């Protein structure tokens, strides 16, 4: 039986104030670290730009043309304007490869569709699934602005005809977390998402749930804070059966917040479709 | 399933989970159209890009 907090997450029953607070937290976790991340080269570059922008009033004060207070005021205003322009420069920079990037994904989808899952040998299916999870990881890295190793893509399926016992089938290449372990689905948020309505769902911050859900299902300490669940449904004898889910997790909270999860689900669609054929 | 707690996040009346599923289905439909030769790869890429950006917020646009 799901607890109230799980039910609220499944029903997305968050009020207007709670949603606004989540937006603020998403901004803090996704943007502030990059704004305030300390880099020597960045510090030198920023200082030089600020010095150049404020050099006029400083020289005027040195030559006695301006009082210290006036020079300080004008210098401060120029400094603030310079910082604002730098920020807008960065955010308005054209992304010329956006169209080509998506076209390459369309071509890639063509290739995946051409490679029928039936033609893959049983022994090679595991390798094919791992490669697919690696592709999902690499799609998610730039979208979530994460570094290699911060994102993990995992395939977890129901075992046989069981509706609660699950197994970690595969993880992305290079991921050293255990695979092949059987886990109790009742302790997994992804299982509840599958059983509720089988729709994709995002956990913005795992620590907003009680401690039961913060530990990893494989008994290891959960090193991730945000998760994106994509349930996998197959048609069997005319009815749709949820076979399990792909979980994409990130060490940083709110990594899949807002448009990021939408971008990921659109871009990864050919890969998740192939995984459904492979399982 | 209780709908009492469901609050749509946007004007289309869908919950975020429903919107994600709808986007996935639309992406699959675009890919299928391209596979059948009804649209070119360029058109499919444009449609997919539009799909990715359809629900983008002002904050996403400024800070993504």
- Asked if A67 and A61 touch (Cβ cutoff 8 Å), the reply is yes
Query: Residues of chain B whose C-beta is under 8 A from some C-beta in A?
Result: 1-2, 5-7, 9, 15-21, 23-24, 26-28, 31, 34-35, 41-42, 44-46, 48-49, 51-57, 59-60, 62-64
Say if the Cβ atoms of A11 and B5 lie within 8 Å.
yes
Residues forming beta bridges with residue A155, ordered by sequence position = A170, A246
Residues 6+ apart with CB under 8 A from A173: A130, A131, A133, A134
Token pair of A123 as six digits: 């022994």
With 50 as the cut, is the pLDDT of residue A248 above it? yes
Q: What is the pLDDT of residue B5?
A: 41
Q: What is the pLDDT of residue B7?
A: 43
Using an 8 Å CB-CB cutoff, list chain B residues near A14: 7
Tens digits of residue pLDDT in A185-218: 888 888 988 988 889 999 988 888 877 766 666 6
State which H helix or E strand residue A71 sits in: helix A68-91
Tens digits of residue pLDDT in A66-89: 888 888 898 888 888 887 887 777
Q: For chain A, what percent of residues have pLDDT higher than 70?
A: 87
The one-character DSSP state at A221 is P
Residues A49, A121: Cα–Cα separation, whole Å: 59
With 90 as the cut, is the pLDDT of residue A98 above it? no
Q: What is the pLDDT of residue B2?
A: 42
Q: What is the pLDDT of residue A138?
A: 92
Tens digits of residue pLDDT in A10-49: 887 677 788 788 888 888 887 765 555 566 776 777 778 7
pTM listed for this prediction: 0.76
- The arithmetic mean of pLDDT across residues A127-153, rounded, is 91
Tens digits of residue pLDDT in B11-44: 567 788 888 999 999 999 998 898 888 998 888 9
Half-sphere exposure of A254 (CA within 13 A, CB side): 16
Using an 8 Å CB-CB cutoff, list chain A residues near B44: 103, 106
Closest partner residue to B5 among A13, A200, A270, by Cβ? A13
Residues A105, A23: Cα–Cα separation, whole Å: 30
Between A120 and A178, the higher pLDDT residue: A178
Residues 6+ apart with CB under 8 A from A31: B63
Residue B6's pLDDT band (cuts 50, 70, 90): very low
Between B13 and A272, the higher pLDDT residue: A272
| Residue in B closest to A95 by C-alpha | B64
Range from A103-107, A164-168, A265-269 carrying the lowest mean pLDDT = A103-107
């Amino acid at each position: 039986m799901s607890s109230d907090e799980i039910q609220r997450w499944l029903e997305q029953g968050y009020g207007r104030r709670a949603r606004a607070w989540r937006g603020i937290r998403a901004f803090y976790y996704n943007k502030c670290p990059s704004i305030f991340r300390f880099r020597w080269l960045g510090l030198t570059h920023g200082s030089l730009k600020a010095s150049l922008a404020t050099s006029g009033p400083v020289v005027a004060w040195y030559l006695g043309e301006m009082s210290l207070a006036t020079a300080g005021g004008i210098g401060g205003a120029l400094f603030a304007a310079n910082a604002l322009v730098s920020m807008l420069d960065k955010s308005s920079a054209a992304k010329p490869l956006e169209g080509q990037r998506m076209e390459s994904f369309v071509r890639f989808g063509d290739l995946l569709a051409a490679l029928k899952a039936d033609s893959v040998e049983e022994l090679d299916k595991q390798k094919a699934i791992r490669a697919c999870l690696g592709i999902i990881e690499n799609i998610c890295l730039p979208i979530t602005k994460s570094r290699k190793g911060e994102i993990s893509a995992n395939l977890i399926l129901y075992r046989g005809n069981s509706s609660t016992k699950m197994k970690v089938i595969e993880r992305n290449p290079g991921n050293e977390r255990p695979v092949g372990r059987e886990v109790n689905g009742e302790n997994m948020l992804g299982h509840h998402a599958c059983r509720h309505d089988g729709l994709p769902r995002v956990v913005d911050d795992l620590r907003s749930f009680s401690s039961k859900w913060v530990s990893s299902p494989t008994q290891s300490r959960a090193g991730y804070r945000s998760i994106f669940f994509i349930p996998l449904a197959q048609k069997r004898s005319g009815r749709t059966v949820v076979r399990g889910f792909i979980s994409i997790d990130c060490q940083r909270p709110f990594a899949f917040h807002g448009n990021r999860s939408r971008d990921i689900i659109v871009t990864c669609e050919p890969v998740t479709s192939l995984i459904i054929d492979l399982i | 399933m209780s709908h009492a707690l469901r609050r749509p996040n946007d004007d289309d009346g869908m919950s975020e989970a429903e919107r994600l599923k709808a986007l996935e289905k639309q992406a699959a439909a675009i890919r299928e159209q391209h596979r059948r030769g009804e649209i070119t790869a360029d058109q499919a890429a444009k449609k997919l890009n539009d799909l990715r950006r359809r629900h983008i917020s002002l904050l996403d646009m400024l800070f993504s």
